[in-house]
Amino acid sequence: MHYVIREYRPADETSWLRCRVLSFLNTSYFDDVLKTKPETPAPGFGLVAAAEHGTVTGIIDIAVEDELATIDTVAVHPDHQHQGLGRALLAEARARVSALGVPMLDAWTRDDPDTLRWYRAMGFTESQHYLHVYASYYTDASEPDRAISERRAGLRPMAAFLHASLEGEQLMREQFARVHVCRRFTMDVL
């Protein structure tokens, strides 16, 4: 399929949001849904892979702060995965980061095996880790109480999303049904 890699334009927003939500659907980010595209202030940037008629089939957003560039979002529409779009978006993003003189590119992601394989295949090195813990009444009615011991009158916790250090992983997994290891991938750019 023919596509071009180009900068994101405001007219892409609806197609960008659809691409993101559909590509996240089979991952642990399935409920990380956006209704408007976040800004990528310069020197950060956003790129898309656009098919005929301008449909967005892949996206990459890069935030740049001082000496570090971070992938905020990378996603390829599920109908177009495994065809080199992710690799092509990353290659263009990496070239732009290098041209800015920024020496490192990183990304934080969870424990989806396919995504981890992709980052490794692209040359990233895994480093730091911490936990993303979800506590939901609908999974186990006692989870939110376990997560927030001090209750506030009139407020009944139904779900909570918490960060924790990796040392607590076993305890967290014993107590909560949904725990992700969030990990950092880095890549030297210069």
Binding residues for ligand COA, rule: CB under 6 A, are: 23-24, 27, 29, 74-76, 81-87, 107, 109, 112, 114-115, 117-118, 121
| Identity at 155, one-letter amino acid code | L
**49 CB-near residues (< 8 Å, 6+ apart):** 3, 4, 5, 56, 57, 58, 59, 76, 80, 85, 88, 89
The nearest distance, CB 190 to ligand COA, in angstroms, is: 23
Edge to edge, the sheet with strand 104-109 lists 3-7, 45-51, 56-65, 68-76, 104-109, 178-188, 125-136, 159-165
| Rounded Cα distance, 40 and 60, in Å | 11
Comparing every residue's Cβ against ligand COA, the nearest one is: 86
Report CA Rg, the chain: 19
Minimum CB–partner distance for residue 32 and ligand COA (Å): 9
Residues linked to residue 108 through DSSP beta bridges, in sequence order: 184
Between 29 and 130, CB nearer to ligand COA:
29
Nearer to ligand COA, 82 or 146 (CB): 82
Would you say 110 or 140 has its CB closer to ligand COA?
A: 110
Task: List the structure tokens of 3.
Answer: 């596509």
Using an 8 Å Cβ cutoff, are 124 and 71 in contact?
Answer: no
**Residue 18 Cβ vs ligand COA, minimum distance, rounded to whole Å:** 13
Nearer to ligand COA, 15 or 23 (CB): 23
Nearer to ligand COA, 73 or 144 (CB): 73
Q: How far is the CB of 10 from ligand COA (least distance, A)?
A: 22
Please, what is the minimum distance in Å from the beta carbon of residue 94 to ligand COA? 13
